[in-house]
Homo-oligomer: A and B are copies of this chain.
Amino acid sequence: MRPSGRPPLELRPLSIEVGYAKHAEGSAFIRLGDTHVLCTVSVEERVPPFLKGTGKGWVTAEYGMLPRSTHNRMDREAARGKQSGRTNEIQRLIGRSLRAVVDLEALGERQLRVDCDVIQADGGTRTAAITGSYVALHSALAKMVEAGVLAKLPLHDQVAAVSCGLYKGTPVLDLDYLEDSDAQADANFVLTAKGGIVEVQATAEESPYTQDELMALLDLARKGVEALILEQRRVLGL
């Protein structure tokens, strides 16, 4: 039924490569089917002005797509001189999602800058970016613990994200680009290992959806995120 031939509940093949980027304090290259995102974490010993002197840290994210990561070449945002509304929306979402599991006080006055760059896109780049970024972040923080910079990991939960959608009337997990283009509703769920919800963004594409459909999507997402969280733990050696 799905263009990809996957059953409704099947994730695309997943791999997460920790430490892909030589220079970054933490990094992960996540591949979910043909969606490939490189996530790096840079640790900075300073915080944005609104946090100066508070003893609290910050996590922020930026997102970009290589111009030919997509089916048709997209204009390079650096050449156009501004980031699109979509880029802004996504990088704000990634930042919020990560902050929801980080103990910013325990982090201390430093900033973790997360960069998510889509090397290849086939749907679900923002959720893959969140899932990959958590791994990069965890790995950067673990190094800081090892180095004695932090006493313990300033994390109180683990986060991952997945997209779901209504495709020809059926709730399906982990939309690829073709499925996404044709879905009636498209939802992104950011969930934690402890079962909490960090963010729900569920958008009707052409006509509204029902509350039951929203619940069905959330159920699918829980199952998908469970699998993502297990893989995150495996690659992090937890």
Interface residues of chain A, those whose CB is within 8 Å of chain B, are 21-24, 27, 34, 38, 40, 42, 44, 62, 64, 66-73, 76-89, 91-92, 96, 100, 113, 115, 117, 119-122, 156-157, 191-192, 194-204, 206-211, 214, 218
Contacts and interface: CB of A to CB of B under 8 A. Distances in A.
19 contacts: A21-B69, A21-B119, A22-B120, A40-B68, A62-B67, A62-B76, A62-B79, A73-B113, A79-B83, A81-B82, A100-B206, A156-B207, A196-B208, A197-B202, A197-B204, A198-B204, A199-B201, A199-B203, A214-B218
A68 B218 contact: no
B22 A34 contact: yes
A202 B203 contact: no
A116 to B, nearest CB: 10
Q: Lowest 3 A-B CB distances belong to which pairs?
A: A196-B208, A85-B88, A77-B78
Count copies of this chain in the complex.
6
A118 to B, nearest CB: 11
A69 B115 CA distance: 10
B117 A66 contact: yes
Contacts of A200: 200-202, 214
Contact of A157 (B73, B81, B115, B208): B208
A195 B214 CA distance: 13
Contacts of A199: 201-204
Contacts of A201: 199-201
B82 A78 contact: yes
A47 to B, nearest CB: 15
Contact of A210 (B40, B87, B195): B195
A27 to B, nearest CB: 8
B85 A91 contact: yes
